[in-house]
Structure 1
Amino acid sequence: MDENALARMSRDNRLIWALCVASIVIYINLYMMQGMLPLIAERFQVSAARSTLVLSVTSFTLAFSLLIYAVVSDRIGRHKPIVWSLWALALSNLLLIYIRSFDGLVAVRLLQGVLLASLPAIAMAYFKEQLQPQTMLKAAAVYITANSFGGIVGRLLGGVLSQYFDWQSAMWVLLLVSLLGVAVTNWLLPSARSAAKREHRMRRWQFRQEGRIDLRGFLRHLQDNQMRLAYIIGGVTFMMMVNQYSFIQLRLMAEPYYWSRFQATLIFLCYSSGTIASYFTARWITRHGQLPLFKMSLVLMLAGTLLTLLENQVTICIGFLLSSCGFFVTHSCCNSFVAMRANRHRAKATSLYLCFYYFGAAMGGPYLMMFWHHSAWQGIVVGSLLLLVVIAVAVWRLGSAQRHSLSSPPQLAKVHH
């Protein structure tokens, strides 16, 4: 192997590791609050169900900020928006240390949602531009695995801190963890290619023309029927999955289980099945294609959701293991589908997908809360089954659209290297 190939491999590895570390920081900051919902309810004197809004409002601003970062990164490059927003996110945790009211907490989390959006909006486009196709699929799988790992660590960290620390001490820990992770990311992340920098500097001044191009880019993907269906599948799946985890904590802390705050967050270890599945999804896509994986995932999420109806702690955990596996395979398939289908305006394509994805998370809290107030966990299952019907219809229509298309895009067929 010559020196150029070794240098490229080293640069590719640094990019992958940098975005994975950044991803862990992002998802710790996003989901640590989910593991602290009981402490938030107690600290700010709100109901346990209302405390879930802390996650919903962050997901809401994150969803729409993704579109802004897609435009910004197309203008000035991928590197700067990621680095700047990560440092701002880490420092914004200083505000959480001294917050005094629930409304103030919601306001800060709204701001943090904007800062959290940069990496999810840019990462897949960054990989697509900098990596070879074979490396890109593997990088996407590792990156989504890091997403899952960061989410697990964040939730468990929140559970430990809410059990053994007060609010201010917990927020100091979050600040220090974030600063460390951002520093490592900053050290690992290669600088943007000089040619890309020059191109973005030249384009930055053409604001009106670029504005029209940006709008056409978003419309291009929204007019693509298969893209829309992938957006719906990812958004509705996340709408169900992430909010099931919020409400299952409330169930496990009530009778007949009486789990402690920390014990209730141990349910998030069920995400590990999704973490493992994410790593192997690229290989499965190569071997089987994406449509069979969508169908398999749907079956797993259906079986997992129904198992949680049994009044047994073991079956509840098995149910969440199955659902998490199905969810992450679905997310990985949607992510790779969008990234590989988009030949132009790649950052806009992935940001639109993630906009649907996180908007689903934001809407899922209020949606499932209605079912919770009516029938507790049985209501959550009913609400989830309705969402699974929507996902099934979208998957069926995606398969139908693929069969009737004149040319089969490679991302839904078997990928050969």
Structure 2
Amino acid sequence: MTANTHQVMNSTILIEPEAHTSLVYRSEVRLIWSLSIASIVVYINLYLVQGILPLIANRFDVAVSHGTLLLSVTSFSMAFSLLFYAVLSDRIGRRTPLLISLYLLLLSDLLMVFVADFSQLVTLRLLQGVLLAAVPAIAMAYFKDELSKAAMLKAGAIYIAANSLGGIAGRLIGGALSLHFPWQEVICVILLVSFIGVVTVHCLLPAKGKSRHLPSHLFAATKPTTWYSSLYCDLTGFWHHLKDSKLRSIYLVGGLAFLVMVNQFSYIQLHLMSSPFHWGRFQVTLIFLCYLSGTLASLYSSRWIGRFGRARLFNLAILAMFLGGLVTLLNTTLAICIGFLMSSFGFFLLHSGCNAWVAQRARVHRAKATALYLCCYYLGASLGGPYLLPFWQHWGWSGVVAASSIVLLVLAWVLHRLTQASSDEVARVDFVTE
């Protein structure tokens, strides 16, 4: 073998790892971008109704406060559908159910153009909740399967930030369009935006991933052979996570936090449309720009958790949510905006930390672990509307803040127990190691 041949072989050996690293990096970036765009599409469709409550009230002849039911029913069906997609994606893979659900979502948007009355709209929103569940149920497990450990926290932070951007976009786009266009035209624009997003996701999403190349012998011993053994395997996966007291606490934290956050945004619109503010149809949607502080918190959450620890960040998050609600009681436009900036910052800091914690803690049945967290998360959203409604009817916005504060006190107690248990667990590990 000649010296030149040795030189070529050596250069090949040096280049191949670099080329492989570059391919892996590009694949990871494409995955993060595609799932983040999918998230934006999902949350535009989920929160669209919050931005067009007055339009819905006029179009379907219902009270504006009853329009909030549309978000509650969607969140309710979404919550339980998350569990279905967790099972499905563990069986057939992450990519296929995610894409099919997004294309069916486009079909449901088309059907909304032809809705004739409010009951039909409620039914269709119930169906949309089933379709909207696929992306949040699968995304974090998809990241965990395909990304390196270093990329995982960053991906989770970017994904949660995309959630908040989608929520803002849905409300603002809907609110702006409702000023100038009737129902059908507003939905057609949302359909067009969603179509562009879904096609982009389909093009960006990597066709193959590491999880599709795992050796088949790893699953040979545990692969279910009958429908009842398959069902038993799935139930065992959910039960495995529900037995974990720490995961149960994280699930409760997510549900209680979202109960307060998303429903406060619904009722503040009603408050701002009434005396002494009398905000217009589009003006009230501008309050959702306060979500931008949550976008910032999501993007930096992984860095801050690594630097200051979860316990400190979670305590700061609860304090921000609690004080944010109290600041709004000053009942000025500036105070309400500052209060919601604080609340949004605290909520998304908490949600990002919990979401990543669940994905990291779950070593098996990852999609099921994430689905259980999000199931509690969206159940909180669906129960928050009915919980806060009587407080709103009797005491107005101050009643909503009081009811929210009760929930936040419970949440603070759960978080204290959770972070204390985590500290004790780390201390025990360090003691054994020493």
The aligned amino acid for 1:356 is C
Aligned residue number for residue 53 of structure 2: 37
Aligned residue number for residue 118 of structure 1: 134
| Cα distance, 1:255–1:131 mapped onto 2, change above 3 Å | same
Q: Does 1:227 align with 2:247?
A: yes
SS in 2 for 1:405: helix
How do 1:5-404 residues align onto structure 2 when only pairs under 5 Å count? 5-193=21-209, 194-195=212-213, 203=223, 206-404=226-424
- Do 1:21 and 1:185's aligned partners in 2 also have CA atoms closer than 8 Å? yes
- Do 2:54 and 2:64's aligned partners in 1 also have CA atoms closer than 8 Å? yes
Cα shift at 1:200? 12
The aligned amino acid for 1:386 is I
Decide which moves more: 284-293 or 48-57: 284-293
Cα shift at 1:10? 0.6
What per-residue deviation string (whole Å, max 9, x for no partner) do you get for residues 263-309 of structure 1? 00000000000001100001011111211111000110011000111
So what's the TM-score if we normalise by structure 2?
A: 0.91
Cα shift at 1:210? 2.4
Aligned residue number for residue 8 of structure 2: none
Q: 1-side partners of 2:428 and 2:199: how far apart?
A: 43
| Cα distance, 1:303–1:115 mapped onto 2, change above 3 Å | same
- Do 1:25 and 1:181's aligned partners in 2 also have CA atoms closer than 8 Å? yes
Q: 1-side partners of 2:190 and 2:330: how far apart?
A: 36
Aligned residue number for residue 5 of structure 2: none
- Do 1:226 and 1:398's aligned partners in 2 also have CA atoms closer than 8 Å? yes
Q: 1-side partners of 2:425 and 2:310: how far apart?
A: 16
The aligned amino acid for 2:406 is L
Cα shift at 1:401? 1.9
| Cα distance, 1:177–1:297 mapped onto 2, change above 3 Å | same
The aligned amino acid for 1:126 is Y
SS in 2 for 1:261: coil
Q: 1-side partners of 2:117 and 2:428: how far apart?
A: 54
Decide which moves more: 262-271 or 45-54: 45-54
Q: 1-side partners of 2:69 and 2:429: how far apart?
A: 40
Gaps of 5+ in 2: 1-16
| Cα distance, 1:200–1:59 mapped onto 2, change above 3 Å | farther
| Cα distance, 1:256–1:51 mapped onto 2, change above 3 Å | same
Cα shift at 1:403? 3.4
| Cα distance, 1:372–1:314 mapped onto 2, change above 3 Å | same
Cα shift at 1:311? 1.9
SS in 1 for 2:115: coil
Q: Which has the larger radius of gyration?
A: 2
- Do 2:298 and 2:352's aligned partners in 1 also have CA atoms closer than 8 Å? yes
| Cα distance, 1:136–1:95 mapped onto 2, change above 3 Å | same
Q: 2-side partners of 1:201 and 1:392: how far apart?
A: 41
SS in 1 for 2:289: helix
SS in 2 for 1:2: helix
So what's the TM-score if we normalise by structure 1?
A: 0.95
Q: CA RMSD in A?
A: 1.8
Count of aligned positions:
410
The aligned amino acid for 1:329 is L
Cα shift at 1:195? 2.4
Cα shift at 1:216? 1.1
Cα shift at 1:161? 1.5
- Do 1:341 and 1:409's aligned partners in 2 also have CA atoms closer than 8 Å? no
Decide which moves more: 379-388 or 397-406: 397-406
Q: 2-side partners of 1:195 and 1:308: how far apart?
A: 53
| Cα distance, 1:178–1:407 mapped onto 2, change above 3 Å | same
- Do 1:221 and 1:349's aligned partners in 2 also have CA atoms closer than 8 Å? yes
